[in-house]
Amino acid sequence: MAITRRDIFGRSAVGLVLASVGGSLSWMSAAQAQARGATLRTLTPTEAAWVAGLGEAIAPPAREAGLVPYLDHHLSVPPAESLLALRYLDVAPPYLDFYRPALASLARLHGTVPPPSGDPRWTAILAALLGPDPTGWQGPPGGFFLFAMRLDAVDVAYGTKAGFERLGVDYLGHIDPETAW
């Protein structure tokens, strides 16, 4: 399949991610990429585990909604084509330089495997990010990192018609989106 820059920009602008499943690249929603076990292109398995866990702790069901494939895809495209919140928060690209040190700090401070969903340790982890940076923290300020993660997690989990349905709120978009995400 020939993939052009215009194709990448057009499809990612309507919320699709380019994901590798079974060795071939396909355009799909972030939730489909998550369900099909898409191969990571940028994030390491440890980083992906922390993104999924943190997203789920902030905005369930961010993991199932595809936060990891969404973030992985948008870290893989040119910054001008990224839909990550960092683009609008005046963070200089490359955006991986924002996420990687913070995710490494989480793994270093709390272990390479994050706690499971619903584990009470998440309360302490989130509280530590909201206060002064924990001892040994490297990367952006913890509170700013959590803010950016929350924006993307909420966007993926609830920024779609399906997300509005989960909230029990009528979707009243001015213009209906071309895709589910």
Inter-helix orientation angle 142-158/45-58, to 10°:
80
Judge whether 30 lies within some domain: no
Higher pLDDT, 61 or 27: 61
The rounded distance, in Å, linking the Cα atoms of 41 and 72 is 6
What's the pLDDT score for residue 95?
A: 97
pTM of the model: 0.80
Judge whether 143 lies within some domain: yes
Q: What range defines the domain where residue 113 resides?
A: 41-167
> Averaged over 38-67, what is the pLDDT?
92
Q: For residue 39, what is the DSSP state?
A: B
Judge whether 26 lies within some domain: no
The rounded distance, in Å, linking the Cα atoms of 10 and 18 is 11
Asked if residue 114 lies in contact with residue 53, where contact means CB atoms within 8 angstroms, the answer is yes
What's the pLDDT score for residue 131?
A: 93
Number of domains the chain is built from: 1
